[in-house]
Amino acid sequence: MALRKFVAGNWKMHGVSSDLDQVRAIADAARARPEVDVALCVPAVLIERAVRTAPGFAIGGQDVHPADKGAHTGSVSARMLVDAGAALTIVGHSERRDAHRESNEAVRAKAEMALGCGLDVILCVGESLEVREAGRAPAFVTEQLAASLPVTGTGSAALAIAYEPIWAIGTGKVASCDDIEDMHSALRQCLADRLGPTGDAVRLLYGGSVNPSNAGAIFATPYVDGALVGGASLKAADFVPIIDAAAGQG
């Protein structure tokens, strides 16, 4: 089943008021490509202004706390993202799994909380270079997905999985299309095993140094339903050609 392509930008810890013109330009370009779903995941404090800048365009967060509310200094809840106007959130990005020691169980709890609050979720998985070189990447990543997969609220287009090999994030190194196909095929099987036919609607995104030059080949790769884009999502001049490439593969 061919799913609508989904291209999401991850601004990480980039973006202040003067960057809102990029949000506007990206939203305008996305509107011209209605066959592709496009979103920008911006810093939490920028969400409300981004939503006001581009009404109707999907703005997301980059993380949520698994609890509804409470004594969690500095954290942001799913309900707060919704209140700010967010439509989605990333959970389990490798930069958080690594720097914040997030376990699969914590990622699953975050995804369940976000879905329960009505946010769409991009759940990230991916192996280190060490794991890939040891030939353990497919087993590691499918186990990571199985352990992180929300058990509530799944099985719909509200959930997307982003396969992001850690060694390809922000490095300019891209996984080969053959490796992406192999991994996405294994992840698709994992979703079918866990969720049955309802898992068919869950989109599989690739992430890791996607740019305007390699996007077309990546979107043409079997089992690839879109991309999670970091550095190349910061400027409309880079991100819009990636959206266009996804539209070309619709």
**Which one from 95, 112, 127, 164 is the annotated catalytic residue?**
164
Q: For residue 210, what are the contacts with CB-CB under 8 A and spacing of at least 6?
A: 174, 218, 227, 228, 229, 232, 242
Residue 48: active-site member = no
Q: Look at the block and give the residue holding tokens 């291209």.
A: 7
The window from 17-25, 49-57, 185-193, 207-215 that contacts ligand PEP (CB under 6 A) reads 207-215
Nearest-angstrom CA–CA distance, 104 and 125:
10
Task: Indicate whether 207 belongs to the interface with ligand PEP (CB under 6 A).
Answer: yes
Task: Indicate whether 125 belongs to the interface with ligand PEP (CB under 6 A).
Answer: no
Q: How many residues bind ligand PEP (CB under 6 A)?
A: 14
Residue nearer to ligand PEP on the CB measure, 12 or 108:
12
Residue nearer to ligand PEP on the CB measure, 22 or 195:
22
The window from 59-67, 141-149, 164-172, 217-225 that contacts ligand PEP (CB under 6 A) reads 164-172
Kindly calculate the radius of gyration of the chain based on its CA atoms and give it in whole angstroms. 17
**What are the residue ranges of helices labelled H in the chain?**
20-31, 47-53, 78-84, 94-99, 104-116, 129-133, 137-148, 177-195, 215-219, 236-248
Task: Indicate whether 209 belongs to the interface with ligand PEP (CB under 6 A).
Answer: yes
Task: Indicate whether 164 belongs to the interface with ligand PEP (CB under 6 A).
Answer: yes
Task: Indicate whether 66 belongs to the interface with ligand PEP (CB under 6 A).
Answer: no
For residue 113 the two structure tokens come to: 């909380």
Nearest one of 129, 184, 132, 128 to 160, comparing CA atoms: 184
Residue 164: active-site member = yes
Task: Indicate whether 225 belongs to the interface with ligand PEP (CB under 6 A).
Answer: no
Residue nearer to ligand PEP on the CB measure, 23 or 195:
23
Burial 76-109 (b: 16+ CB within 10 A, else e): bbbbbbbebebbbbbbbbbbbbeeeebebebbbb
The window from 27-35, 134-142, 187-195, 205-213 that contacts ligand PEP (CB under 6 A) reads 205-213
**Which one from 65, 93, 95, 102 is the annotated catalytic residue?**
93
Which residues here bind ligand PEP, judged by CB under 6 A? 10, 12, 164, 169-170, 207-210, 228-232
